[in-house]
């Protein structure tokens, strides 16, 4: 009889049950999609945020030492100390080397540049002046042990663009090397070619393919660089060329590192010297920007690594806010679903007040009446939960393809969690209506009175 009453309620009030089922399905679908994306979003958002560039910088340890007596800085004026280029591949040997997206060394050198007339173009002659030439990796092939990898500014500075008059298109550095034309304009790391910043090129009257005299040696302009920063007034050259001009083989002034990290918390900002061995292991094995910087210092002798605070802190803030937004959307969808279920159940139970009164008149207790309605709600929640989980999984995959260009992984453990959420939301929405049904007076109910 119990099962028959439940069955008849679905058959006679199919429209009411359908409305409640749709509300549950929609709420659960949004919850499934948001939870699936939130649990799989960390690395994907970090990779998207890597398009903002490096978040760590490594400099010689000597640069951090201030020699000051009586308020007077006694540090000798110099270009500073240098890192050893041969140590850079050791970055791939750190614990979190898989989180290191790329790195690019920098070696600035002040050079003399003149605007020699280009034989191919009628350009004006500029006076000799001091210009900063920055040596770096563009797309350098390196090896650490048996592992080979490529790194350089094409990864750490993806907003850089070069105009080399290659079919009239500007090529972004961060693009994947697919058609050979996308490499047009970028110097080879073993060449004597350079990039001219667009403001410097305009001042010198130089274009792609021209020659520019740097410290008396002619160099070929491979392309015109546009960054919106100081590089627009500089020359960017292969690192080996800058080392030749400076006369310091293997010298590197600083290294920019792009690493995927997790947002800071209380543990992240603690001093590792004050930690117990257990806490230190947990901190060391967490991809905080501080722990990765610590490991970079271990890998590169006589170095100091620190986060580029504006970039690293903003990344953590963006990631936290995106996850917070997803949580808010999930709660809002579930709340709206509970309200819709409450309205549908309240109307359905009100229409069945005579049935409730008859059951009570025949001796049914409050528990029996409540059990019937909760059984209906449970069945409705399970049906809506399964449908919502299926729809939410499809929505999560669509979000992954459209936003991250990759698949969102749906963990199997998410299914029972979603069913539990569906049951809780349905019970929460039905509780008030069921409580009212239990309190129906059979005399007034049989008379048709509320």
Residues 287 and 328 in one domain: no
pLDDT at 179: 37
Residues 158 and 14 in one domain: no
Residue 118 forms part of a structural domain: yes
Residues 157 and 291 in one domain: yes
Residue of 119 and 386 predicted with greater confidence: 386
285-333 pLDDT tens trace:
988 888 999 999 999 999 999 887 655 555 556 667 777 888 899 999 9
Residues 29 and 79 in one domain: no
Residue 435 forms part of a structural domain: yes
Q: Choose the final residue of a domain: 265, 288, 307.
A: 307
118-175 pLDDT tens trace:
444 444 444 567 899 999 999 999 999 888 999 999 888 888 888 876 644 444 444 4
Q: Which of 339, 343, 371, 341 is nearest to 356 (CA)?
A: 371
**Distances in Å between the alpha carbon of 185 and those of 77, 113, 122, 227, 288?**
37, 21, 22, 15, 36
If you average pLDDT over residues 262-280, what whole number do you get?
A: 86
Percent of the chain scored above 90 by pLDDT?
A: 33
Residue 287 forms part of a structural domain: yes
Residues 88 and 223 in one domain: yes
Q: How many CB atoms lie within 10 A of CB 350?
A: 14
| Number of domains observed in the structure of the chain | 2
Residues 252 and 393 in one domain: no
Residue 312 forms part of a structural domain: no
Q: Choose the final residue of a domain: 286, 307, 328.
A: 307
pLDDT at 6 over 80: no
Residues 243 and 262 in one domain: yes
Residues 22 and 104 in one domain: no
Residues 274 and 136 in one domain: yes
Residues 205 and 62 in one domain: yes
pLDDT at 403: 74
pLDDT at 240 over 90: yes
**pLDDT band per the 50, 70, 90 thresholds, residue 437:** confident
pLDDT at 303: 92
Residues 146 and 19 in one domain: no
pLDDT at 407 over 90: no
pLDDT at 117: 46
**Rounded CA separation 254/84 (Å):** 10
* DSSP β-ladder status, 129-136 and 235-238: parallel
Residue 407 forms part of a structural domain: yes
336-375 pLDDT tens trace:
999 988 888 888 777 777 777 777 766 667 777 778 788 8
Q: Which domain holds residue 80?
A: 55-307
Residues 234 and 331 in one domain: no
């Amino acid at each position: 009889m119990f099962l028959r009453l439940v069955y008849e309620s679905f058959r006679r009030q199919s429209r009411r049950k359908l409305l409640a089922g749709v509300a549950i399905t929609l709420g659960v679908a949004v919850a499934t999609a948001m939870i699936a994306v939130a649990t799989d979003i960390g690395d994907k958002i970090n990779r998207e945020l890597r398009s903002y560039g490096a978040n760590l910088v490594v400099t010689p340890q000597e640069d951090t030492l201030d020699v000051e007596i009586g308020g007077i800085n006694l540090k000798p004026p110099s270009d500073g100390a240098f890192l050893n280029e041969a140590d850079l591949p050791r970055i791939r040997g750190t614990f979190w080397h898989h989180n290191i997206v790329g790195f690019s060394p920098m070696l600035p050198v002040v050079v003399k540049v003149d605007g020699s007339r280009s034989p191919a173009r009628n350009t004006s002659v500029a006076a000799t002046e001091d210009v900063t030439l920055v040596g770096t990796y563009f797309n350098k092939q390196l090896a650490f042990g048996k592992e080979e990898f490529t790194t350089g500014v094409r990864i750490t500075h993806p907003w850089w663009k070069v105009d080399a008059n290659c079919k009239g298109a500007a090529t972004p550095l961060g693009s994947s090397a697919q058609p050979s034309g996308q490499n047009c304009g970028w110097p080879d790391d073993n060449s004597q070619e350079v990039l001219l910043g667009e403001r410097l090129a305009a001042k010198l009257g130089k274009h792609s393919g021209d020659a520019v005299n740097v410290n008396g040696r002619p160099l070929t302009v491979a392309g015109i660089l546009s960054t919106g920063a100081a590089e627009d007034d500089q020359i960017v050259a292969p690192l080996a060329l800058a080392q030749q001009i400076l006369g310091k083989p293997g010298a590197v002034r600083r290294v920019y590192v792009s690493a995927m990290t997790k947002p800071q918390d209380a543990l992240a900002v603690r001093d590792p010297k004050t930690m117990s061995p257990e806490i230190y292991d947990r901190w060391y094995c967490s991809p905080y920007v501080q722990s990765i910087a610590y490991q970079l210092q271990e890998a590169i002798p006589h170095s100091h690594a620190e986060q580029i605070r504006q970039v690293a802190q903003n990344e953590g803030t963006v990631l936290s806010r995106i996850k917070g937004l997803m949580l808010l959307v999930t709660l809002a969808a579930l709340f709206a679903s509970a309200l819709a279920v409450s309205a549908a159940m309240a109307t359905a139970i009100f229409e069945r007040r005579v049935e409730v009164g008859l059951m009570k008149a025949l001796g049914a207790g409050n528990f029996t009446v409540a059990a019937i309605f909760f059984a209906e709600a449970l069945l409705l929640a399970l049906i809506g939960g399964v449908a919502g989980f299926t729809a939410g999984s499809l929505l999560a995959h669509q979000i992954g393809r459209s936003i991250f260009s990759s698949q969102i992984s749906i963990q199997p453990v998410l299914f029972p969690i979603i069913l539990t959420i569906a049951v809780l939301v349905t019970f929460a929405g039905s509780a008030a209506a069921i409580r009212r049904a239990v309190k129906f007076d059979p005399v007034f109910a049989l008379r048709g009175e509320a």
